[in-house]
Every structure is written in structure tokens, then in C-alpha cells.
Structure 1
């Protein structure tokens, strides 16, 4: 046999094997049983509470070893709380909507265990394996129904006694092999997608749209979770769009690590990409790349306020557009913000859950080995770096960070925001391109600063060093527009 004919035989064998595997995969998909919620009594009139029907369909699919739970297109299915189960694909078909019931009495399960003052659970699930949420339809948290009066910059939060009934849209605790893709998720009254102690999660191609006036309406919260990939998403939220954290209520799950965020577009009234403020463990090995932040308050924020540490984080290839909003929202238009301050003592409803058990004051952990590379930002404020004590913020690299600082709103500036911290929260200061407070080993290289033509008198210089040590500047070009 010639070498040519042998190579041709190899090609044919490979093609045959590929077709066989494709056929087998098609058979498996075709055999996956569909559990249509309408067959379990669901009524798509937008009025009937379909929680029982949804739960029956989910339980049937999971009990059978797995299956596809289908929310059929063309209708709105109102529902109170329900729980996902292992080995299911929850498919919300195109032009179908799952809508949270506005009846506050239905929401009794706390999103934070015994801490009942920070919202409840609408769609939940514990110790899940092999779960996919998908489809071109919509999960709608009906958030405005849980709000008080509308204000210019936000909604009034309704008073409550013990349990805050505002539902978190999706809460998965202890999940393994979780997939969320191709969905529209909107109108959450509190956090939207909350991943607690999950391992191996992929979130891809979702559109997440919350009201920009709803406080606490985080987009995606990665809490004590590992090996998480978030990609190709568009997120608008009043509060943080993507937030990494370690809440004290779930300390048994350990560190938050191995997180990748890529190709996302975000807008927030608080911080588009945030690490903290709740962090009682370790957040490390994080890559955030190829993202666009637009019409936001703060762009990127590391806001460490507890004893946990933040290390080995790279932000790269990011465009930031930020400007000032009211004091309701944390942040003063800082495009990049790296801080470590002890949490403020408080007497609010959740103060007892913010500190280690039995304590009324907290400690602060280190923030170190943070890199910002190829960041282009237009903002009303500059970069802020600072810690409460020496050594808490160190080894911060700014490489190819280009800032354009210009006044774009009528809201007064000249302020940096360190809330919620033991030290003074809002500090008045000259706005600098890089304001370096208590920190060390800071490198700025191959970067630029352009001051816009509209320069109020509180705009200062390129670098303001307060207590910063070992600051190395290797090219920082400063320009002034006329």
C-alpha cells in the first residue's frame, strides 16, 4: 500500500468514527425526555401561581435520572419560590417568561441562613449536580413589585420586621457542574445570580437587565466558589454587575478562587466589577479580560473590608466609562479602586453578621499582587489606592493604563469614597490621576493621563502620594486638552 492510499484510509476511518460519535450523541439527545410544565398543571395566564406545577415537573425529571424541564413559549408563568434538582436542564423557550409572584407572604426562606434581613430565595437549589438553565426566554424577578416609592436616584426600601421578603432571583448552594447560558434574566429585587460554594460553573451569553434604581440588585455574585467562567454577557444593574466575595454565613465552603471573566459588557450605579466588600476568607487566581464598562459609577473595585485576603488578580484589555452618581451608591467615579480598610461598626439590621461571631469589630486582610494591564478609562475621578495600615495593600502594577479625566456631570466632585470603613468614609481631596494613600510597591509604567478641557479647581496633579512607599514610575505622560 502506498503512503498516499494509507493516508486516505486514515482519513476515511477518522471520518467514519466522527460520524458514528455524532450519530450516538444525536440519539442520546433525542432520547432525553422532555417534561413540559404544562403537562403538570402549569397555566400561562400570568396570574396563577405555578410553583406546584413547576416543582412537580422538576422532581419528575430528577427522579427519573435526568431530563429536560420545558417552559413552553408564548406565555407568562407566574410562580412563587421553587427549587431546582440535580441532573436537569431547565429550558425557558423563546417568548416564554417565568415571573416571580408579587405576593410577599410566599417568600419565607432566607438567602443567608439565620441572617433573615437580607432577602429571600425565589429560584433555589442545594447540593446540585449537573444542572443547566438555558433557552431564549426570560426569568423575571418582578423586582419593582417589591419596592417602595420611586425616587430620583433609587427606590425606597420597604420596612420589614424579621424577614426581608425581597427575593434573590437565583440562589445555588453547593452546586457542581452548573451551566447557565443563552437566557434573559431581568428585574431582580435583590441579588440576581448567587453562586454559593459552587465548583465548575460556566455562565455564557446571558443578558441580565435590572432596574438601575434598585439597590442591592447585584448581577452575578460568586461567593466561596471555585472554577467559575463568566463570558459573553451583557449586564445592567443598580448595584455591582459581577462581584466576588466570601460571605460569613457560608464560611464552611472555603476560598473563592480560579475565576475567569471575559468578553462582558457592563453598566452599574455602584461598581461594575467588584471584589468584596464581604470577604472573610481568600479570593485569589482571578483573570478578568476583554470587557467594556460603560455609564457606570465605579469601574473596577477591590474593596476589602474583612480579614480575608485578595491576591493574584489580573485585569486586562478593559474599556471604562464612569461618572458621578448620588451618595445612595458607593463610589465616586473612580475608574480603578484598590483598598483595604476595616469594616465600619454598625447598628443596622445586618451589623451582627458582618463580624466574626461574638465580636463587634473586625480585622482587615491584605490585598497584594494585583495587575492592571491595557486599561483605557474616561472618568470624572482618578485611580485610588489605599489601606488602613502599612503593608495591607502592596505589589500593585499599572501597565499601559491610560486615563482621561474630565468633568461630565453637574454633581460636585473632589471626593474619594472609602465606605463602608472604620476610617472616614468620604474624604475631600484634590483629584489626582493616581491617588496613592497607605500602600507600598506600586509600579506605574507605559501609562498616560489626559486632563479634559472642563477642569474644576479640585483637579490636581498626575500623582498624589500620601503614605505610599516604594512607588516606581516608568513613563507617565501627562497632557491637557484645550
Structure 2
């Protein structure tokens, strides 16, 4: 049996005592965790601490920014000795932004709620991302994210469905009133990092994107409930951005924007940075987004997007299922996209592709930088209460090619569009699609659109059984 840090009564064995400055910090190591909280993670930790041992106060009013930062700073010393976990116990923990460290787990108890500070002075300023050239809301820089890290290895953010509330209404109001000088914060952003797990949490009301891994690899995001008002601006759920080997599964997202959006840089900046998003698998995923899409590819895709595999998908009251967004000047590519098994209800569009997404970081994009959109495969789709089957608009003299759609049944709502398929500058084949598609997607008998039979390496990663070794 293992005590939490700072207990005056020691139960078990204290294996390491560090003196850091004038503060005496006890770190407990246990081989067994009788009564501890079990969870699964990419790696378990040898050392454990509780936020209250660093002065945390869970009353929803007291700032815990210093407590989080001090706790993580102290626990970072165990990165080379089995790593450490910081446990957020029951309570409401108001905090400004804090940075994570390598070989580290942030664990939220099921009655823990992290509340993002609305004191703007607590939020650091960061430069724009190099693959974007400017901020999304404002050209000059951006606010740091609530939970942030860069150049990290082996990071876990998990819990017993504990919650993080970004209290985004403050930022949404500033956005709508055009009073932002910097781009709004994200809830969780990890940059240039490897071996990431974000799981078993409820995430609420992010100021902008909820989860934004960027320039990172080997990422698992699972068992997440993400919820923002359906009219909240740019509250994307999960946005892998120039990332490789990504696994998204068993997530439920209600959003004011895309539930998942795969990105890789913006126009000339993304072309120059040249880091694609690739080898991404999405499974058992549910989305509600009346004004946006379940899975977006782009529009910032100038570094390229390839080998995306999505299956067992559900969208309810969502504008579109899979949307490819690009434009002249983007360059890059979206290719080898495989989707099967979509159950869709109350949709504006089932299939949507556009080559005329007008947003650009500045006027300096190259009009000769044309995106390559090819190898897009959809199969096994049932959709009801649909307004329009497809809106597929490529680029003149640069069509979207090798589109395959098979085994699709679409039923209309009470006010369907007269023309169900709007297709320009696209080519491909279809089979067993109702209603019949446009002439540029002719019927091909005996066709089943492809879906890879091999598994990606990220799918074979097995999570370990770990324990918090703490009692409340």
C-alpha cells in the first residue's frame, strides 16, 4: 500500500526523498497498489504525487497555476527513473496554462474538474506556427494552450472520465466582437512530440480547438467525450496537424465546427515546411455538428494528407460526413483516403468536396500551387433524412480523380434538393449507389471500393495496466 505525497502518516515504503530548494518532497514507489485506481496507459510510472501536495486548492476559486507548474517541474526530475504521475483529486481546480514534461502522466479522478482561468494575463504568448505563417484569428502570434508541451516523449493525459472545462465563452465573445489581437488558446496542444496518449476524459468548452497535436507522432486518442455549444466558433474536437501514426477511437464529439479535422499547413508556409499528416486510423466515432463536418481533410493541407482509414462512423444532425477542403494556392495532396461503415442521420450533405475554399494566410500564395486530390474511397454507407447526396466540386483544369463510392443508400428528408448530385471537375466510379450519382462517376459492376486489410503500426500498440497508488 502506498501513500500519496506529503502525508504526515507514512503507509508503506518511501523509496526516494528529494530536497529541492527549501521544499521537502516525498515521492512514493510501490510494487503493489491495494485499493489504488487502475487505468491503462502506454507506460506506467514509478513515482506518484497528488496536486494537493504542492498547495493545490480545489474550491473552484483559488488559482492553482503555481501548484500545477511546481508539481510538474518537481516531477520532471523522475523522467530518467521510471517517470512520474500527477494525480488531480476530487475538486474544482482553477488554473492558468501549464506545460507537461516527458515520461509523465496527468491523471484526473472521476470527480476532478480542471477549470481554465479567464484571467488573460496568465496566458503566455507564442509565435505563429511555422507551417501556417500567421495565427488563425489574428496575424501576430497566438495564446498558449491550457495544457501544452513541446519536444516531449511519452506523455499521457488520462483519468476516470474526469473533466476539463476551457470556459471558452470569454474567448468566443472576444472573437465575435473582433477584439482579439492574438489567436485564441487551444485546450491541449503538444508540439514536436512522440508517444502521446489522451484518453478517458470529458472535455468541455474549449476557447478554440480542443486537442491539437502538431508536428508529432505515435498518438493514441480514445474514450473521449468532447462537448461545446453547436454555435461556438472553431471548437474543433481533434485536429491532428502534420502528424504521423495517429489512432482515434471510441470518441463522442459535439462541436461548433469539425469534429475531427486533419491538417498539414497553410499555403506557401505549409508547402515549405513539408510535413504531412499520414497513417491515421479513426474507429467507432460519433459526431454531432449541425454547421460542419464529422471528418474534415483540410482546408490547411499544403504539407499533404495520406493514408487515412476511417470505419464504423456515426454522424447525427451534422452538415456533412467527410469533407475535403482545399483551394488554388494550397499545393500538397489528399490521397489514399479509405472510409467504410457510415451511419448518418439528418445531414445536409453525405459527400462534400470543394476546391474553392477561399481562406488564405496572406495574398502571397502561388496560384500555380494546385492540390492533388486522388484516391478517395467510400463504401457501406446508410444515410437518412438527407437534403442533398453529394456536392463534389474540383478545380478547373485540375480535377479530383480516382473517386470510388460503393454500396450507399441515401434517403431524403421532407425538403430534398431537386438535383441530388452536383459534380464538377471530378472523376471516378461507383456501384450500388442510391440515388444514382452524376455522369462523371459512372456505374461499374462488381465494384467494391478498397479498404486496406493490413493494420497500421499504431493499431498494434497495447496499453499497460497501471495504478495511481493514491487514496482519497
Q: TM-score, normalised by structure 1?
A: 0.75
Cα distance, 1:87–1:405 mapped onto 2, change above 3 Å: same
Contact 2:274–2:302 under 8 Å retained in 1: no
Bigger Rg, structure 1 or 2: 1
Aligned twin of 2:120: 104
Partner of residue 437 from structure 1, selected from 416, 424, 441 = 424
Deviation at 1:364, TM superposition (A): 2.5
What is the SS of the residue equivalent to 2:169?
helix
Aligned to 1:32: 46
Alpha-carbon distance, 1:198 to partner: 1.0
Q: Contact 2:47–2:78 at 8 Å: present in 1 too?
A: no
Per-residue displacement from partner, 1:46-101 (whole Å, max 9, x unpaired)?
A: 1122111101111222222220111112x111011111111101001111011101
Q: Is the 8 A contact 1:345 1:361 kept in 2?
A: no
Match of 1:384 in 2: 391
Q: What is the CA RMSD across the aligned residues, in angstroms?
A: 2.6
What is the deviation of 1:175?
Answer: 1.4
Find the partner of 2:283 among 262, 272, 293. Answer: 262
Report if the CA contact (8 A) 1:208-1:234 is conserved: yes
- Change in CA separation of 1:398 and 1:233 when aligned onto 2, cut-off 3 Å: same
Instruction: Please give the secondary structure, in 2, of the residue aligned with 1:212.
Output: coil
User: 1:161: Cα distance to partner?
Assistant: 5.1
Q: Could you tell me which of 380, 399, 412 is aligned with 1:405?
A: 412
SS in 2 for 1:48: strand
Per-residue CA deviations over 1:417-466 (Å, capped at 9, x if unaligned) read xxxxxxxxxxxxx432x3221112x21102222xxxxxxxxxxxx4444x
> Could you tell me how far apart the structure 2 residues matched to 1:161 and 1:396 are?
41
Q: Select the structure that is richer in helix.
A: 1
User: Which secondary structure does the structure 1 equivalent of 2:299 belong to?
Assistant: strand
> What is the TM-score when the length of structure 2 is the normalising length?
0.77
Aligned residue for 2:100?
84
Find the aligned partners of 1:122 and 1:401 in 2 and give their Cα distance.
Answer: 42
- Aligned equivalent of 2:222, options 187, 199, 204: 204
Matched, 1:128 2:143: no
Written as runs of structure 1 = structure 2, the 5 A alignment for 1:154-169 is 157-160=176-179, 162-164=181-183, 166-169=184-187
Alignment check: 8 A CA contact 2:172 2:233 kept: no
Report 1:59-74 matches (<5 A): 59-65=73-79, 66-73=83-90
Instruction: Tell me by how many angstroms 1:33 deviates.
Output: 1.5
Partner Cα separation in structure 2 for residue 253 and residue 390 of structure 1? 24
Gaps of 5+ in 1: 1-22, 150-155, 324-332, 415-429, 450-461, 477-482
Q: Within 2, Cα distance between the matches of 1:205 and 1:197? A: 23
Of 50, 56, 66, 2:64 maps to 50
- Which ranges of structure 2 fall in alignment gaps of 5 or more residues? 1-29, 35-42, 448-472
